[in-house]
Structure 1
Amino acid sequence: MIGELLKAQPEIALFASLALGYFIGSFKLGPIQLGGVCGTLIVSLLLGQTGARIAPDLKNIAFALFIFALGFTGGPQFFANIGRGWRYGLLSVVEIVSVVVLIMIAVVLLGLDPGTASGLLAGAATESAVIGTASEAISKLGLGDAETTRLQANIVTAYSVSYLFGLITIVLFTSQFAPLLLRVNLREEAERVWRKLGGSGALDEGQRLAAPPLVGRAFKVVGAAGVTVGALELQYGGNLTVEQVERGGATLPLEPQLTLAAGDLVLVVGRRAALVEASPHIGDEVGGEQVGPVMGERVDVVLTLREAHGLTISQIRERASPEEGRGVYIAAVTRLETTVPALPNTELNRGDVLTLVGTKTDVARGAKRLGYVLVATQKTDFVYLGLGVLVGMAIGHLGGRIGGVSIALGTGGGCLLSGLLFGWIRSHYPLVGSLPSAAAQILKDFGLATFIAAVGLSAGPDAIRLVHQYGIALPVAGILMVLIPGLLSLWIGRVFLKLETPMLLGAIAGQQCSTPAISALVGVTGNSTPVIGYTITYALSNILLPLLGPLVVGLSGKFG
């Protein structure tokens, strides 16, 4: 009865897969969480036994939207990290080369077909987008419909089997095993790096909320009497600003040459560490009812200033003139939808979203200097979006033979490359191509989940057959494809690249595109220093790994 209903109305099977899949994926066992995509795949594989099928056109449209949005949001960071972030980027190269070599070894030893090989790559590398690019590459091999369907079913089955083992392995490796191999206390190392970057201590999330990095205080001047406003601010490296001076009940015009007098009431805002240091030298702290309104202006700005790329927050402040930098503070840095610690020695990249805090006038001046204000909008430029997908489809027709191996980008690879290009254009010319982050996230989440549900439903009985055929070989291969690249990156990053341990482990999580791994790392370290390494390798691997789908299909077809 249920089977007949699902076959007659496959949209019920689609949304049942999404709802139940994301419900199952929401459960956590320690740091391990399957996630909605893997949960959707498991449910759709089960429902696929009923014979329910989704039209191929819907599957292709969903994947095209997902992969374009992936490239669009990652484009600015991808190009920003090519070259300048070479030390971390090298780890992504290690990941790419080693997994291709390991896949080819598995193809030869186990006799894997192109579908199983690419599914193993997708699962072990925890990169779901490979399913789409490999699936499309298989459809272009010129095989019969039955054989094409079988190989595409093998992709999702191999992915579902190897994904869980790959996920568990990368989480445990980065947060537990690697620190033991390096013989370091990860929490102490993270605290040391946090202080090196200019943080006031190894603060976890709760402590950071209780002690915000940007604060305001009101003082009755004692020790700072006779000092000008400009000299006081310069003494502490521009990390604090005098926003108001009151003398005898009257507010004085504020200018750098104004000399403070004993008994003046001054309102000072800035970085907490600077204010703590300056407090004894200024005077006695008093109640400051005006602190909130002064610090109340918060604006998100996309960093486009070319000279700022690769500079630390403190270097940007040092290079700015006193008039440009006065009263402007970077409260947060967001990179690839991930928060990076906004510490004095944190390096910034073009495309970062900086949260500026200060007075309205100061913030507007800083935003104009650093980039453009990220205006909150709910409108999507569908002209830009449609044109981008069309260009991607045109690029997808490109292909050829390399060393006797036939490789075609397909719509997936083409839309990924066009998304990169259109995202980069948008970052340089912000007046065109509006795609709000929430809208882009919906395209990515719903597009990928719909695609995964469609291919899972189509897998049908082939899934069970493949599991019986290879047994534990796929899980073991999935574990090795995480451990070997991880160990290589750990050795190279530690011995040759001299990377700090928290950033190195974060970069290894990023080269695997593993969000659960970086979440576990942040929990173990107690601060967000691993995120600095994670964002760079994630930006690169998230783009490069999907492009391996057609390559693995071509190579496994030749050597399998």
Structure 2
Amino acid sequence: MSFVEQPVVALFLSLTLGYLIGKIRIGPVQIGGVCGTLFVALAIGQLGVTLSPDLKNVAFALFIYALGFTAGPQFFNNIRGGLRYGILSFVEVATVLALVAVAVLLFRLDPGTASGLFAGSATESAVLGTASDAIGRLPLPAAEIARLQANMATAYSVTYLFGLVAIVVFTTQIGPLLLRINLREEAATLARQLGAEDDGAKENGVPEIVSRTFRAGPVAGGTVGAFENSVNGVVTIEQVGRGSGFVKATPDMQLEAEDVVLVIGRRRSVIAIAERLGAEVPMPAGDNVPLVERQVVLVRREVSGLRIRDLRRLASDEQRRGVFISHVRRLGQGIPALPGTVLEQGDILTLYGSEEAITRAAPELGHLLPTTSATDFVMLGLGVVAGLLLGEVAIQVGALNLTLGTGGGALVSGLVFGWLHMHRPQLGGIPPQAAEFMKDFGLATFIAAVGLSVGPDAIALLKQYGLVLPVLSILVSALPGLASLYIGRYLLKIEAPILLGAIAGQHCSTPSISALVSLAGNSTPVIGYTVTYAISNVLLPLMGPVVVGMVGMIG
């Protein structure tokens, strides 16, 4: 076994087998690679293999900084104006803290076990890093700190699995049952209210934005601008075929009966206005207008909070001509780009149209994202160092020594640098794929290091608590969702699909939102998920030191 006992081999073997185990799916539940990595690392750790604490700290710093960087744009906006959904994240934090406090009183949990219960039941792995750092700062012997950190990892490994199953079952089965709804029907109704196309079009793969050519026919004699205004700008005449070729259409161009007009717009809108034009004709080969897609980050505050349809109505005739929003990405999740979809600051909008139209419209929304795929290591290094320095700041409140620690400092720094990058995309860039790798590899490496360091202490904790931890994890996972279900439905009046998505987000549960979207038949639950996910992904990790301090006060 000497080969396996080499630290580098043990790390990558944990990642390999862990992510392989994480692919196993039982119904809607898939434990994921991070939890699978911890299981394998716990097993290999019985051989006495450990990783350098420095590697563990570097991995966690990269993960938590990237987490803050990607969440920054939406986090600040949601804290300021998205509390209709975001308040559920505060319900999650308060309820989980209260339940863990009760568990500490009843079962005399130590700081490590309580932190692991909090992290596993809330399915938020980042809590392990901030709590581990807080435990390491306790005035205790090194052996006792190692035991508490081992208890934290073991408790997390047990409670995560049961907490994950509990929240997936709650959001997909129990929640709709308590609300007395058919989730698929509710989601379809909500999508239609937002302006969705018919389901058959989606199933057949018909594109949302289309271009078709017609004879001018009945609109001959009028101008291009007059026709577009008569249909409220929902379509654009991009080119006009006259004589031997096509020319670019302008608002003041007068149409003739034999002209061929190239119309661009949403599929439903183009179909609706077809009866106002002449016969549809094929586009001559070689005359297709070059249409492109460009991504722009939504920055302008006065645009945030508007629906897509309202955005088009407020834009001038020239600004909206020939450009359409085809996709919206929020926190890496695609949300429905429907006329009724509300846009938020930090959204990544995919604009579809001619190069000229996109260049004209983009500054009215925010900044075009640079096409470079390189990571700005200058700003990355500066951001991580700033976070580590911030984590060293301590405030004495009575008997408590409050500090953000390494994890909390890097998280706050990532939030700030991510927000700055939204306003200045040319600075501090981390491509989405690179940020995802930093999060995935950083967290998996940190989890593997934690699991390998546990050793025989895991068996002792399991013998001590037996079935107590699994039962606690189910309660601590499901009860916050239950509280949010009734608060969201009867006090906040949130639509059921969005509410269930928000509950999955407050729990930071990607398997839950995946199962919800599959069950709903469309992506409307993601609208609520992105708001609470952004807030909970920041609040929950910051609670690691709070849990450790709370246990000390109770004890």
Asked whether the two chains share a fold, i.e. TM above 0.5, the reply is yes
Unaligned runs of 5+ in 2: none
Matched with 1:540 is 535
Question: In 1, distance between residues paired with 2:451 and 2:395?
Answer: 30
| SS in structure 2 at match of 1:392 | helix
Matched with 1:72 is 69
1:349 partner amino acid: E
With over 3 angstroms needed to count, the CA separation of the structure-2 counterparts of 1:539 and 1:267, relative to structure 1, is same
**Which residue of 3, 9, 17 corresponds with 1:5?**
3
Matched with 1:98 is 95
Matched with 1:122 is 119
Equivalences for residues 456-495 of structure 1 within 5 A: 456-495=451-490
Q: Is contact 1:216–1:295 with CA below 8 Å preserved after alignment?
A: no
| SS in structure 2 at match of 1:83 | helix
Matched with 1:340 is 335
| SS in structure 2 at match of 1:284 | coil
Matched with 1:34 is 31
Q: Is contact 1:218–1:287 with CA below 8 Å preserved after alignment?
A: yes
| SS in structure 1 at match of 2:279 | strand
Equivalences for residues 83-232 of structure 1 within 5 A: 83-202=80-199, 207=202, 210-232=205-227
Question: In 2, distance between residues paired with 1:252 and 1:74?
Answer: 44
**Which residue of 426, 430, 438 corresponds with 1:443?**
438
In the alignment, is residue 327 of structure 1 matched against residue 325 of structure 2? no
Question: In 2, distance between residues paired with 1:291 and 1:467?
Answer: 71
TM-score, normalised relative to structure 1: 0.96
Matched with 1:387 is 382
| SS in structure 2 at match of 1:53 | coil
1:194 partner amino acid: A
In the alignment, is residue 251 of structure 1 matched against residue 249 of structure 2? no
With over 3 angstroms needed to count, the CA separation of the structure-2 counterparts of 1:545 and 1:293, relative to structure 1, is farther
2:328 partner amino acid: V
In the alignment, is residue 25 of structure 1 matched against residue 22 of structure 2? yes
| SS in structure 2 at match of 1:357 | strand
Q: Is contact 1:405–1:555 with CA below 8 Å preserved after alignment?
A: no
Question: In 1, distance between residues paired with 2:352 and 2:285?
Answer: 15
With over 3 angstroms needed to count, the CA separation of the structure-2 counterparts of 1:143 and 1:289, relative to structure 1, is farther
Question: In 1, distance between residues paired with 2:464 and 2:301?
Answer: 55
Deviations 1:315-338 (A, max 9, x none): 111111111111110000001110
Matched with 2:44 is 47
Question: In 2, distance between residues paired with 1:251 and 1:37?
Answer: 56
Q: Offset at 1:290? A: 6.4
Q: Offset at 1:253? A: 5.5
Equivalences for residues 277-296 of structure 1 within 5 A: 277-289=272-284, 293-294=288-289, 296=291
2:513 partner amino acid: I
Question: In 1, distance between residues paired with 2:231 and 2:23?
Answer: 47
Q: Is contact 2:245–2:287 with CA below 8 Å preserved after alignment?
A: no
Q: Is contact 2:123–2:164 with CA below 8 Å preserved after alignment?
A: yes
In the alignment, is residue 396 of structure 1 matched against residue 376 of structure 2? no
Question: In 2, distance between residues paired with 1:110 and 1:383?
Answer: 48
**Structure 1 stretch 423-432 or stretch 38-47: which is displaced more?**
423-432
In the alignment, is residue 358 of structure 1 matched against residue 340 of structure 2? no
Matched with 1:57 is 54
**Which residue of 508, 514, 521 corresponds with 1:519?**
514
1:93 partner amino acid: F
Q: Is contact 2:370–2:425 with CA below 8 Å preserved after alignment?
A: no
With over 3 angstroms needed to count, the CA separation of the structure-2 counterparts of 1:305 and 1:380, relative to structure 1, is same
Q: Is contact 1:294–1:358 with CA below 8 Å preserved after alignment?
A: no
Question: In 1, distance between residues paired with 2:241 and 2:431?
Answer: 44
Equivalences for residues 291-306 of structure 1 within 5 A: 293-294=288-289, 296-306=291-301
Q: Is contact 2:153–2:451 with CA below 8 Å preserved after alignment?
A: yes
Question: In 1, distance between residues paired with 2:333 and 2:203?
Answer: 16
**Structure 1 stretch 52-61 or stretch 225-234: which is displaced more?**
225-234
2:250 partner amino acid: E
Deviations 1:181-234 (A, max 9, x none): 11111111111110111112357xx82661211001111233333332112212
Q: Is contact 2:370–2:426 with CA below 8 Å preserved after alignment?
A: no
Matched with 1:433 is 428
**Structure 1 stretch 475-484 or stretch 122-131: which is displaced more?**
475-484
Matched with 1:268 is 263
Question: In 2, distance between residues paired with 1:314 and 1:397?
Answer: 48
| SS in structure 1 at match of 2:445 | helix
Q: Is contact 1:123–1:164 with CA below 8 Å preserved after alignment?
A: yes
Q: Is contact 2:34–2:447 with CA below 8 Å preserved after alignment?
A: yes
Question: In 2, distance between residues paired with 1:395 and 1:252?
Answer: 59
Question: In 2, distance between residues paired with 1:494 and 1:130?
Answer: 29
Deviations 1:449-479 (A, max 9, x none): 1100001000111111111111111111111
| Amino-acid identity (%) | 55
Q: Offset at 1:368? A: 2.6
With over 3 angstroms needed to count, the CA separation of the structure-2 counterparts of 1:34 and 1:317, relative to structure 1, is same
Q: Is contact 1:214–1:331 with CA below 8 Å preserved after alignment?
A: yes
Question: In 1, distance between residues paired with 2:343 and 2:465?
Answer: 47
Question: In 2, distance between residues paired with 1:506 and 1:522?
Answer: 9
**Structure 1 stretch 128-137 or stretch 260-269: which is displaced more?**
260-269
2:36 partner amino acid: G
How many residue pairs match? The answer is 555
TM-score, normalised relative to structure 2: 0.97
Q: Is contact 1:41–1:452 with CA below 8 Å preserved after alignment?
A: yes
Matched with 1:424 is 419
Question: In 1, distance between residues paired with 2:407 and 2:509?
Answer: 21
Question: In 2, distance between residues paired with 1:530 and 1:466?
Answer: 38
| SS in structure 2 at match of 1:258 | coil
Unaligned runs of 5+ in 1: none
Deviations 1:76-121 (A, max 9, x none): 1101111211111110010010000001000001110000001011
Question: In 2, distance between residues paired with 1:457 and 1:274?
Answer: 59
Question: In 1, distance between residues paired with 2:401 and 2:203?
Answer: 53
1:306 partner amino acid: R
| SS in structure 1 at match of 2:219 | coil
2:439 partner amino acid: K
Q: Aligned-pair RMSD on alpha carbons?
A: 1.6
Q: Is contact 2:238–2:248 with CA below 8 Å preserved after alignment?
A: no
Q: Offset at 1:381? A: 1.4
